[in-house]
Amino acid sequence: HKPLPEDWAMRGLVWAETAFPERQFKDANVLDENERAFETPSMLEERRQRCLWLGYQVAQLKRWITYDSETKRFRPAAQYVKAEPAVAASSVLEDVTEAL
């Protein structure tokens, strides 16, 4: 996969050191700044898939959010549902059924 523009921006940050495969930036010396920032239509889908994958990884911790594989929906963890009922009613994360 070609790095997304935000990948280039995160490169070198301490918290992102293990976020990318070793060869992710193999073209670092070849591409100029404009080429790194160039957006293609396929990047939108790649970015969407990455966000869903990362959300799923966070949900596996069951600390902040959970993922129901039967309904294919993310939900706030139980302790946040009790503290903030309005959060549980939110439908912001419900549109992931086709992606996962």
Tens of pLDDT, residues 7-23? 888 888 898 888 887 77
Express each pLDDT in 21-50 by its tens digit: 777 777 777 777 777 778 888 889 989 998
Backbone angles phi, psi at 71, to 5 degrees: -90, -10
Q: Which of 10-19, 65-74, 87-96 has the highest mean pLDDT?
A: 65-74
**How many Cβ atoms sit within 10 Å of the Cβ of residue 67?**
20
Euclidean distance between CA atoms 66 and 33, whole angstroms: 38
Q: What confidence score (pLDDT) does residue 90 get?
A: 60
Which contiguous run of DSSP H or E holds residue 85? helix 85-88
**Would you state the structure tokens that stand for residue 88, as one six-digit string?**
């549980």
| Burial readout 28-51 (b: 16 or more C-beta within 10 A, e: otherwise) | eeeeeeeebeeeeeebeeeeeeee
**The length of the chain, given as a count of residues:** 100
pTM for the structure as a whole: 0.64
